[in-house]
Chains A and B, each alone.
Chain A
Amino acid sequence: MFTSTAFLSILPETLILVLGVILLVVEPFMKEERRRNVGWLTAGGLLAILVISVLVGRPAVATSTFGNTIRFDGLGFFFKMLFVFGAGITALFLMDHEKVGQRGEAYLMLLASTIGMCLMASAADLIMLYLAIETTSIPLYVLSGFMLGDDRSTEAGFKYLLFGAMTSAVMLYGFSLLFGFAGTTNLYALADAFKSGQVSAPVIFGVIILLIVGLSFKVSIVPFHFWAPDVYEGAPTPVSGFLSTASKAAGFAVIARLFLIAFSNFTIDWITVFAVLSAVTMTVGNLLALPQKNLKRMLAYSSIAHAGYAMIGIVAFSKLGVASVVFYMAAYIVTNLAAFGVVVAVGRVVGSDEYESYKGLSRRSPLLGLIMLAAFLSLAGMPPFAGFVAKVFVFAAGVQSGFVWLVVVGILNSIIGVYYYLNVMKYVYLYRLENEDEDKHPIALTRPYMIALVVLVLGVILLGTVFAPWFSSANAAALNLF
Chain B
Amino acid sequence: MAFPVLSIIVFTPAVAAMILLMIPAQRKTEARGVALAAATFALLLSLWVYIQYLTQHMTGYQFVEQYNWLSALGISLHFGVDGMSAPLVLLTGVVMFTGVLISWGDFDEHSHLSAGIQDRPREFFAFLFILASGVFGVFASLDLFMLFFFYEIAVFPMYLLIVIWGWIQTREYAAMKLTLYLFIGSVVALVGALAMYWTAGQSTGIYSFDMLQLEKAGFSASFQNLWFLPVFFGFAVLGGIWPFHNWSPDGHVAAPTAVSMFHAGVLMKLGAFAALRVGIMLLPEGAQHWSWVIMLCAGVAVVYGAFIAFIQTDFKYMVGFSSVSHMGLVMLGFSTLNRDGLTGAGVQMFSHGIMTALFFAVVGMIYDRAHTREIPQLGGMAKVMPFAAIGFIIGGLVSMGMPGFSGFIAEFPIFLGVWQSQWLVAVIASISIIITAAYIMRNIRQVFFGQMPEKFEGHITGITILDKIAITTLCLLMIVIGLFPSVMVPVVQTGVNHILQLLGVA
Binding site for B on A (CB under 8 A): 320, 362, 366, 370, 373, 377, 382-384, 388, 392, 395-396, 399-400, 404, 407-408, 411, 414-415, 418-419, 422-423, 425-426, 429-430, 467-468, 471-472, 475
Contact of A377 among B156, B172, B195 (CB under 8 A): B156
Give residues 117-149 of B contacting A (CB, 8 Å).
Answer: 123, 145, 148-149
Give Cα distance in the complex from A429 to B180, angstroms.
19
Given contacts A392-B145, A392-B190, contact A467 B159 (CB under 8 A): no
Contacts of A468 in B (CB 8 A): 68-72
Give Cα distance in the complex from A388 to B149, angstroms.
8
Give residues 194-242 of B contacting A (CB, 8 Å).
Answer: 194-195, 197-198
Extra 11 A-B pairs, beta carbons < 8 Å, given A383-B152, A396-B198, A414-B183? A400-B198, A404-B195, A407-B194, A415-B183, A415-B184, A418-B179, A422-B159, A422-B179, A471-B70, A471-B72, A472-B70
Interface of A is mostly: helix
Closest CB of chain B to A331's CB: distance in Å? 14
Given contacts A388-B152, A422-B179, contact A430 B191 (CB under 8 A): no
Contacts of B172 in A (CB 8 A): 426, 430
Give Cα distance in the complex from A370 to B149, angstroms.
20
Give Cα distance in the complex from A472 to B69, angstroms.
11
Contact of A415 among B71, B152, B160, B187 (CB under 8 A): B187
B431 touches A (CB below 8 Å): no
B388 touches A (CB below 8 Å): no
Give Cα distance in the complex from A87 to B1, angstroms.
45
Contact A472 B72 (CB under 8 A): yes
Closest CB of chain B to A321's CB: distance in Å? 13
Contacts of B145 in A (CB 8 A): 392
Q: Sort chain B's interface into a size bin.
A: 20 to 34
With both beta carbons as reference points, the residue of chain A lying nearest to B196 in the complex is identified as: A399
Contacts of B70 in A (CB 8 A): 467-468, 471-472
Contacts of A320 in B (CB 8 A): 73
Give Cα distance in the complex from A414 to B186, angstroms.
12
Give residues 67-126 of B contacting A (CB, 8 Å).
Answer: 68-73, 123
Contacts of B21 in A (CB 8 A): 370
Give Cα distance in the complex from A343 to B71, angstroms.
38
Given contacts A382-B152, A382-B156, contact A411 B163 (CB under 8 A): no
Contact B188 A411 (CB under 8 A): yes
Interface of B is mostly: helix
C-beta contact mask, B146-170 vs A, less than 8 Å → 1, else 0? Answer: 0011101100100110011000000
Closest CB of chain B to A173's CB: distance in Å? 40
Contact of A395 among B156, B159, B180, B194 (CB under 8 A): B194
Contacts of B160 in A (CB 8 A): 373, 425, 429
Contacts of A399 in B (CB 8 A): 191, 194-195, 198
With both beta carbons as reference points, the residue of chain A lying nearest to B155 in the complex is identified as: A382
Give Cα distance in the complex from A429 to B72, angstroms.
39
- 10 closest cross-chain pairs (CB), A and B: A399-B194, A468-B70, A411-B187, A383-B149, A382-B156, A383-B152, A400-B198, A396-B194, A383-B153, A429-B164
Contact of A414 among B68, B123, B187 (CB under 8 A): B187
Closest CB of chain B to A361's CB: distance in Å? 13
Given contacts A377-B156, A388-B149, contact A411 B191 (CB under 8 A): yes
Contacts of B163 in A (CB 8 A): 426, 429-430
Give Cα distance in the complex from A309 to B40, angstroms.
43
B176 touches A (CB below 8 Å): yes
B25 touches A (CB below 8 Å): yes
With both beta carbons as reference points, the residue of chain A lying nearest to B119 in the complex is identified as: A363
Give Cα distance in the complex from A288 to B278, angstroms.
36
Closest CB of chain B to A148's CB: distance in Å? 42
Contacts of B69 in A (CB 8 A): 467-468
Contact A411 B72 (CB under 8 A): no
Give Cα distance in the complex from A418 to B183, angstroms.
8
Give Cα distance in the complex from A123 to B195, angstroms.
36
Contact B72 A475 (CB under 8 A): yes
Contact B179 A384 (CB under 8 A): no
With both beta carbons as reference points, the residue of chain A lying nearest to B14 in the complex is identified as: A384
Contacts of B150 in A (CB 8 A): 383
Give Cα distance in the complex from A395 to B179, angstroms.
21
Contact A392 B148 (CB under 8 A): yes
Closest CB of chain B to A424's CB: distance in Å? 12
Contacts of A471 in B (CB 8 A): 70, 72-73
Give Cα distance in the complex from A366 to B21, angstroms.
9
Give Cα distance in the complex from A422 to B179, angstroms.
9
Given contacts A366-B25, A382-B152, contact A415 B72 (CB under 8 A): no
Contact of B191 among A407, A418, A475 (CB under 8 A): A407
Contacts of B164 in A (CB 8 A): 429-430
Of the listed residues A396, A404, A419, A468, the one surrounded by the most CB atoms of chain B closer than 10 A to its CB is A396
Given contacts A383-B152, A384-B153, A415-B180, contact A404 B191 (CB under 8 A): yes
Give residues 12-53 of B contacting A (CB, 8 Å).
Answer: 21, 25
Give Cα distance in the complex from A429 to B120, angstroms.
11
With both beta carbons as reference points, the residue of chain A lying nearest to B184 in the complex is identified as: A415
Give Cα distance in the complex from A395 to B187, angstroms.
10
Chosen A-B contacts, 25 in total, with CB atoms closer than 8 Å, are A362-B123, A377-B156, A382-B153, A388-B152, A392-B145, A395-B190, A395-B194, A399-B198, A407-B191, A411-B188, A415-B183, A415-B184, A419-B176, A419-B180, A422-B176, A423-B176, A425-B159, A426-B172, A430-B163, A430-B172, A467-B70, A468-B69, A468-B71, A468-B72, A471-B72
Closest CB of chain A to B140's CB: distance in Å? 16
Give Cα distance in the complex from A395 to B184, angstroms.
15
Contacts of B72 in A (CB 8 A): 468, 471-472, 475
Contacts of B123 in A (CB 8 A): 362, 366
Give Cα distance in the complex from A331 to B183, angstroms.
21
Contact B190 A411 (CB under 8 A): yes
Give Cα distance in the complex from A411 to B185, angstroms.
11
Give Cα distance in the complex from A320 to B194, angstroms.
13
With both beta carbons as reference points, the residue of chain A lying nearest to B126 in the complex is identified as: A370
Closest CB of chain A to B374's CB: distance in Å? 26
With both beta carbons as reference points, the residue of chain A lying nearest to B159 in the complex is identified as: A422
With both beta carbons as reference points, the residue of chain B lying nearest to A396 in the complex is identified as: B194
Contacts of B176 in A (CB 8 A): 419, 422-423
Give Cα distance in the complex from A429 to B124, angstroms.
12
Give Cα distance in the complex from A399 to B21, angstroms.
39
Given contacts A422-B159, A430-B172, A468-B70, contact A396 B25 (CB under 8 A): no
With both beta carbons as reference points, the residue of chain B lying nearest to A467 in the complex is identified as: B70
Contacts of A425 in B (CB 8 A): 159-160
Contacts of B198 in A (CB 8 A): 396, 399-400
Contact B187 A396 (CB under 8 A): no
Give Cα distance in the complex from A373 to B21, angstroms.
13
Contacts of A407 in B (CB 8 A): 191, 194
With both beta carbons as reference points, the residue of chain B lying nearest to A422 in the complex is identified as: B159
Contact B152 A418 (CB under 8 A): no
C-beta contact mask, B369-384 vs A, less than 8 Å → 1, else 0? Answer: 0000000000000000
Contact A395 B25 (CB under 8 A): no
Contacts of A388 in B (CB 8 A): 149, 152
Closest CB of chain B to A224's CB: distance in Å? 28
Give Cα distance in the complex from A399 to B72, angstroms.
17
Contacts of A392 in B (CB 8 A): 145, 148, 190, 194
Give Cα distance in the complex from A194 to B293, angstroms.
54
Contacts of B156 in A (CB 8 A): 377, 382
Closest CB of chain A to B69's CB: distance in Å? 6
Give Cα distance in the complex from A46 to B68, angstroms.
34
Give Cα distance in the complex from A143 to B240, angstroms.
52
With both beta carbons as reference points, the residue of chain A lying nearest to B166 in the complex is identified as: A430
Give Cα distance in the complex from A373 to B153, angstroms.
13
Give Cα distance in the complex from A400 to B200, angstroms.
12
Give Cα distance in the complex from A399 to B190, angstroms.
11
Contacts of A366 in B (CB 8 A): 25, 123
Contacts of A472 in B (CB 8 A): 70, 72
Give Cα distance in the complex from A52 to B68, angstroms.
30
Give Cα distance in the complex from A422 to B21, angstroms.
20
Closest CB of chain B to A330's CB: distance in Å? 15
